[in-house]
Amino acid sequence: MSELKTTISEEITLSSKGYKLQKFLGEGAYAKVYLAEYTSKDEKHKAILACKIIETSKAPRDFVVKFLPREIDVLIRLSHPHLINVHSIFQRKTKYFIFMRFSENGDLLGYVLKNGCVSENQSRVWFRQLALGLQYLHELEIAHRDIKCENILLTANYNVKLSDFGFSRFCLDDTDTLALSETYCGSMSYAAPEILRGKPYMPKPTDLWSLGVVLFVMLNKCMPFDDTQMRKLYEQQMGKKYRFRSRVSSAVSSECKSVVKHLLEPDPGLRHSAQQL
């Protein structure tokens, strides 16, 4: 477990804003996540939060000047029940402190690994919540570009929230024209075939592909395609070579299978949009 490595001046700043870090939760390449407690100045409001501390001095320039400002710009615009909501963001020297709602029941991947296949009824509920969040995001002309089970958090009431907007981007350029993405984003096993091709792509349809993978994982407790080799993965994607487990296939409705089919469509022009879900 990582210690709470904050300076005295940082602790003073945090305290003045009503925050107190409690314990270490996890870490990524350039960030650590802590459990935090917030108390308003009048002490009438308290909240348990997650605090993401990003140390920019340890991050590459591309992350600091491109991806981090974009993530913060996206986060401060969001207000939706099924997208992670930010409590506050502030900077202290080379560190950014991002306080967000804490999700008491972990992430979707942990849930599936612990409990097995998710029933169709429950999958429908969570899928609908994610689809509504994604529709809201796309209406703002924002693409997430890293949808996966690990980035879907479960609240105390077992509702889902899409999190981690580190790869998100705006879909329009300065002239309000749809802009192609060139960055290889997200996890290979959730990446759409147009990303694997390594050519510029429209970002919104790739979110829908990833959402289709998430739905398949919920129902099957396995990935739809073999992701050990990129070439093999791409060939299976283009050939639509995914298969439901036999016991799942007999239990899942044709309507649900149709949704998976329209999301795991290798042609992004034929793939369902968020509005069609």
Report the percent of the chain where pLDDT is more than 70: 99
Q: pLDDT class for 4, splitting at 50, 70, 90?
A: low
Distance, first Cα to last Cα, the chain: 42
Comparing 274 with 226, the larger pLDDT belongs to 274
Phi, psi angle pair for 130, to nearest 5°:
-65, -40
Q: Domains in the chain and their CATH numbers?
A: 8-101 (3.30.200.20), 108-276 (1.10.510.10)
Quickly state the pLDDT bin for 52 (edges 50, 70, 90).
Answer: very high
pLDDT tens across 95-140, in order? 999 999 999 999 999 999 999 999 999 999 999 999 999 999 999 9
Spatial neighbors of 56 by CB under 8 A, at least 6 apart, are 30, 63, 64, 68, 94, 95, 96
The one catalytic residue in 146, 173, 176, 207 is 146
| Mean pLDDT (whole number) for 9-38 | 92
3 pLDDT band (50/70/90 cuts)? low
Catalytic residue list contains 226: no
Report the alpha-carbon distance of residue 192 to residue 204 in Å, rounded: 11
Instruction: Check the annotation: does 257 bind a ligand.
Output: no
Shortest CA distance to 164 belongs to which of 176, 175, 148? 148
Q: Tens of pLDDT along 226-268?
A: 888 999 999 999 999 999 999 999 999 999 999 999 999 999 9
Distance CA 54, CA 28 (A): 9
- pTM higher than 0.85: yes
pLDDT above 60 (res 1): no
Q: In the predicted model, what is the mean pLDDT of residues 206-233?
A: 96
Mean pLDDT estimate for the chain? 94
Model pLDDT, residue 29: 80
Kindly state the average pLDDT of the residues 174-182.
90
